[in-house]
């Protein structure tokens, strides 16, 4: 027999964003701090998702977009490789450049 490891099964529909907050960064000028809490409602561990942050202007047109890999919002490669356990509640912290006064709304998505 050969050792075989299967990749974690992903089901983005089972990951819920339960809390989110965007505010000025307390220590860096022209930066924002995003705090988000996500929950894995799947009955199995699954990979951490790619996190997408977008900002739009008054007309609903995008003015800024950034994708974060799990290692960028979690910081610990061992945690990332183990995946999100069933029922896990995970706090993510994202630091981004302030997109300016034209950006009036934001959206967080999983990819």
Whether the full predicted model's pTM is greater than 0.75, yes or no, is: yes
Query: What is the DSSP-derived secondary structure letter of residue 30?
Result: T
What is the Cα–Cα distance from 12 to 102, expressed in whole angstroms?
A: 30
Q: Token pair of 74, please?
A: 């979690």
The pLDDT tens digits of the residues spanning 27-72 come to: 999 999 999 999 999 999 999 999 999 999 999 999 999 999 999 9
């Amino acid at each position: 027999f050969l050792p075989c490891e299967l990749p974690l099964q992903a089901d983005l529909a089972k990951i819920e964003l339960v809390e989110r907050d965007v505010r000025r960064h307390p220590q860096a000028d022209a930066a924002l701090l995003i705090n988000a809490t996500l929950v894995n409602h799947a009955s199995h561990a699954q990979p951490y998702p790619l996190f997408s942050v977008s900002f739009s202007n008054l007309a609903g047109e995008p003015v800024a977009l950034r994708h974060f890999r799990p290692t960028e919002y979690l910081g610990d490669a061992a945690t990332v490789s183990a995946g999100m356990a069933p029922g896990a509640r995970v706090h993510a912290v994202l630091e981004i450049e302030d997109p300016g006064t034209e950006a009036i709304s934001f959206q967080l998505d999983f990819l």
